[in-house]
Amino acid sequence: MQTELSRKLGIEHAVFGFTPFPAVAAAISRAGGFGVLGAVRYTAPDDLKRDLDWLDAHAGGRPYGLDVVMPAKKVEGVSEADVEAMIPEAHRRFVEETLARYGVPGLAEGEASGWRITGWMEQVARTQLDVAFEYPIRLLANALGSPPADVVRRAHDRDVLVAALAGSARHARKHQEAGIDLVVAQGYEAGGHTGEIATMVLTPEVVEAVDPLPVLAAGGIGSGPQVAAALSLGAQGVWLGSIWLTTTEADLHSPALTRKLLAAESGDTVRSRALTGKPARQLRTEWTDAWDDPAGPGTLPMPLQGLLVAEAVSRIHKHEAEPLLGTPVGQIVGRMTCERSVQAVLDDLTRGFERAVDRINRIAGRSGQ
């Protein structure tokens, strides 16, 4: 599974894996793919440093990358307290009433809620970059917008390729104008923040729009035939996020959540603003239903919603409140039916890819070639 891009990066398979877990990122790179560590949860530079130390030591000398979040709409010049003050009381009451209805206990004193607004601020992403550029990262990816020109320059000065996620051809062209090196065309099926165009439609549109920039197809890819389809559409590789959540190297800290993911079918996700205020695909739960119910108060815009629900989400996870328990995940969740190692996922992708190519060759009358 070699493309011009995979050869440029010196990887065996053109499979890029986004993950919030260093152990998964390292395993993807070791298995011949390209592991990309999500940085949004690292609000303390020392934590990122610790995990990059670990990743660097465990990637087997293979290349890896980092994904930061620099939203196009900036959250600057305001403190977390300023944002807190903008949250209406009725929304706070709704959170507490919903948690009370399901008997979700509070956090112990001193237990941090998982989410901080700071992870979405450009100045924090910049401190993450200061740390990251001390490591031999080969790729820097940005979600939710084009990276600023000086960041692109800094990356290029260090021979680091710059990628950005796009949900439409228009976004992809903006990224191209910003001087990036590759576009991740992420379809509607994907886990996390998504646009409204399906991968099958989006990928060739983006490939044509940004030609000759390489494009990675993302969203709804979890098998070899899907990889073959993405490459047929002109992508130079695939970018997978959901599939790694149920690998043995992932650490969701919740057996109940893993069970829910393994049991979920492809129709069990929803694109909801419940988590961050922007549409993000996630497991459909009674929590997302409550937020999406027209009888409720509705969600707040980013970053207010994220801050509003941060502690509630931590409480739901800590106490494994099953009906409310969820995570960003894409429609491919329906194929995630057993826990496997990252290596087993890669083996399945590459074998399935070869079978798909053989099949197409037979259809094209080229059997035996």
Ligand X SMILES: Cc1cc2nc3c(=O)[nH]c(=O)nc-3n(C[C@H](O)[C@H](O)[C@H](O)COP(=O)(O)O)c2cc1C
Residue numbers at the binding site for ligand X (CB under 6 A):
18, 38, 40, 67, 69, 141, 143, 165, 186, 189-192, 218-221, 239-243, 327-330, 332
A 10 A CB-CB count for 315 gives: 22
Give the bridge partners for 193, in sequence order: 280
Closest chain position to ligand X (CB): 241
In 3-state terms, the chain is what percent helix, strand and coil (to 5)? 45, 15, 40
The dihedral built from the CA positions of residue 324, 328, 333 and 336, taken in this order, carries a sign that is negative
Shortest Å, Cβ 102 to ligand X = 22
Q: CB of 314 within 8 A of CB of 99?
A: no
Q: CB of 69 within 8 A of CB of 99?
A: no
Rank residues 94 and 163 by Cβ distance to ligand X and give the closer one: 163
Alpha-carbon distance of 292 to 38, in angstroms, equals 27
Alpha-carbon distance of 75 to 47, in angstroms, equals 22
Alpha-carbon distance of 299 to 283, in angstroms, equals 17
Residue carrying structure tokens 């807190």? 84
Shortest Å, Cβ 368 to ligand X = 34
Residues 6+ apart with CB under 8 A from 202: 167, 168, 169, 185, 186, 187, 188, 195, 219
Query: Which stretches of 284-324 are assigned E, i.e. beta strand?
Result: none
Rank residues 95 and 125 by Cβ distance to ligand X and give the closer one: 125
Shortest Å, Cβ 369 to ligand X = 31
